[in-house]
Amino acid sequence: IFQFLPKLPREVNNVKYHKWKYSQVIQSYPDKLGCVVLKENPLLVLAGDSFAGESNFEACIEAAIETVKTIGGLFK
């Protein structure tokens, strides 16, 4: 990540946790379940709830599993 963001601090000075009471994806990323690989070397992957087919817990788990499969497939 430091290749893309060389000025990113390497040490964390402050942490703030924020718990969302309600969170829901309004419009998911079309035709991509799990993630999108932006670059393979160095690896840069976009992943998360936006890449789940639906806005529910099960879909988020499925998207996470697909992300792991995608990333794992890049290292074979």
What does the pLDDT look like over 12-52, one tens digit per residue?
A: 888 888 777 777 788 888 887 889 999 998 899 999 888 88
The verdict on residue 9 lying in a domain is no
- For position 4, what pLDDT does the model report? 76
Q: How many domains does the chain have?
A: 1
Q: Which domain holds residue 61?
A: 35-74
Collapsing DSSP to helix, strand or coil, 1 comes out as coil
At position 66, the amino acid (one-letter code) is E
| DSSP designation for 23 | -
The verdict on residue 25 lying in a domain is no
In degrees and rounded to multiples of 5, residue 44 shows phi and psi of -135, 115
Average pLDDT over every residue of 47-58: 85
The verdict on residue 19 lying in a domain is no
| pTM for the structure as a whole | 0.64
Could you tell me if 36 and 51 are in contact, meaning their C-beta atoms sit under 8 angstroms apart?
A: yes
How far is residue 70's CA from residue 38's CA, in Å, rounded to a whole number? 12
Q: Which residue has the higher pLDDT, 70 or 25?
A: 70
The verdict on residue 27 lying in a domain is no
